[in-house]
Structure 1
């Protein structure tokens, strides 16, 4: 395998297409990850990441992101940052720091400002409509405000056998100010080691954090499990643990690749999608289902892909 990149959710497709071209031209896994995630962050219709991300309960967009270099194991992460574009780039810059590599809130914003990152209002009119509609539904219908927590996470392998991974999210919709999920936490939302492989997670951060699932998948791959075996084992063991101890488990989905470019995916929900590209496979979207604690996936149909974009770009009105 010459190169590979895998990502959570259909929203990563355009970014993976661009990253695939970079990897094909022998660019680094780190550049591929940053480029691909920035494309997701910049697209306003993907409402759980970057510009257009869904706000917290106070109507503020707080963003989390992380980056990890699989060669050096260097990590950079930010949480609760407001009014800055492309948090993945800020996280990657932080990964170059020996100290202070995980910053939150005002500290992250001060670092971003001092290092010349672009300020921008990340709250869109569309996100405001989502916010106001959810407030109304919470009062009128008694619905939970906490819905919408899709992290974009990616792992890449380049032609030099170096690996990197990254995550970016606006977190749980209507979250408490300052709430941070698994996405910027090493071992939970992401982990990569170029000598083994990497993994990244999406779903309910409060439950994903209980299993350090990304590190667990890499550990299992080190012990000889294939990426698919490692992903299934980690997800379904954590799911069972949570159900046994707490009577329920939130959404948990993972993607991973090893240092040979072999990939795996696992989920405890129906309809999870992911994107994979390698030197032998053009960027492709797959949709998952669950059968007997095993994840089954098939190539997304044109109808599914059309419905996905039509739903996300449809005009919104206040209810």
Structure 2
């Protein structure tokens, strides 16, 4: 067991990213955190958190923080699961999905959006400038262009080369935690990737919660396929009275259980963030026990008190944490299998 005071002191002095299994200890994550906090899925969430923290530490709004944070992942050409570096669908089109939600229940989303590098910002524009929540496909692109977003070709040379290799094999089989694998050394790039999303949750100095979720979806998916990431209540949900949650992994299973909404409602009933995420994962297992053994789904949650936690089907899920005491921290989430 790690002594929390020793750990914080060492982590602050080193100023480096740390990974621990037992940071939350037997309390199940029930350690309240004062002041702003931002958490996000996977190891690439560390860099995203830094951008969000730059806003939070200046007492900025959590909504601005989560948008700025996930834009880092969207703009990273080495990230083939989010944004402009994402792998295409079966027909060679890069289609992006995203949503965003604030402390007042306002939300916006886009799905199957082409040619726009930062779908999360389009989602925010949908939230703030239209009476709608979700725009899709050509309509989403038309709205983005009319709103001043720049049109560009999102299919990078590397992604195009990988897609052409896939066309020769056409293997469509999930690979668990593919987001942790080096795509430059992957010998079989044509598998159906368990992609990943970046989901980010934040609480600002005023206690306001917000969240964002963005992805390029499953690599080589059917054209028009949309997962959980842009679906409010599935890939993301925020209730400022209780907390917020986001999901990662195979979106179809998250949609079937309305996963993020479920996690928040369980926290409303008194569950800790970690326990709420674990129960949401167990719901998936109970519905499809055999499927659950071969796919990855994970949930990440933050409650109003700043307590956070995560749980996944399979081992390998991690999330990044940044607050005024612990910066650039990577936590290994617990799992069922």
TM-score range, shorter chain: 0.7 to 0.9
Counterparts of 1:98-117 in structure 2, within 5 Å, are 99-117=131-149
SS at 1:253 equivalent: strand
1:8 aligns with 2:47: no
User: After the TM superposition, which residues 275-286 of structure 1 pair with which residues of structure 2 at under 5 Å, given as runs?
Assistant: 275-286=320-331
Equivalent residue, structure 1, for 2:162: 130
Residue 147 (str. 1) matches residue 180 (str. 2)? no
Judge conservation of contact 1:20–1:283 (CA < 8 Å) in 2.
Answer: no
Partner of 1:303: none
Establish whether residue 252 from structure 1 lines up as the match of residue 297 from structure 2: yes
Q: TM-score, normalised by structure 2?
A: 0.81
Judge conservation of contact 1:239–1:249 (CA < 8 Å) in 2.
no
Partners of 1:272 and 1:289 within 8 A in 2: yes
Give the deviation of 1:280 after TM superposition: 1.9
Q: What SS does the aligned partner of 1:76 have? A: strand
Aligned residue for 2:10?
none
Q: Please, which runs of 5 or more residues in structure 1 have no aligned partner?
A: 295-319
SS of the equivalent of 2:128 reads: coil
1:33 aligns with 2:66: yes
Q: Specify which of 168, 172, 175 is matched with residue 221 of structure 2.
A: 175
Cα offset for 1:119? 1.5
User: Where does the alignment leave 5 or more consecutive residues of structure 2 unmatched?
Assistant: 1-33, 174-187
Shift of residue 243, structure 1, vs aligned partner:
1.0
Contact (CA 8 Å) 2:116, 2:141: kept in 1 or not? yes
* Contact 2:194/2:250 (8 A) holds in 1: no
CA deviation vs aligned residue, 1:77-97 (integer Å, no higher than 9, x gap): 000110012100000111114
1:261 matched residue in structure 2: 306
Aligned residues: 288
Q: Quick one: which of 226, 229, 232 aligns to 1:186?
A: 232
Deviations 1:17-49 (A, max 9, x none): 121122111111011101111111001000010
Distance 1:286 1:136, change over 3 A: farther
Q: 8 Å contact 2:285–2:292 — kept in the other structure?
A: no
Q: Deviations over 1:223-246 (max 9, x none)?
A: 1111111111111232232217x6
- Give the SS at the match of 1:210: helix
Return the offset for 1:279.
Answer: 2.1
- How far residue 283 of structure 1 moved from its aligned partner, in angstroms, is 2.1
Q: Could you say what secondary structure the match of 1:282 adopts? A: coil
Q: 2:210 aligns with which of 164, 174, 184?
A: 164
1:314 maps to none
Question: What residue in structure 2 maps to residue 85 of structure 1?
Answer: 117
Kept after mapping to 1: 8 A contact 2:309/2:333? no
Counterpart contact for 1:242–1:249, Cα < 8 Å: no
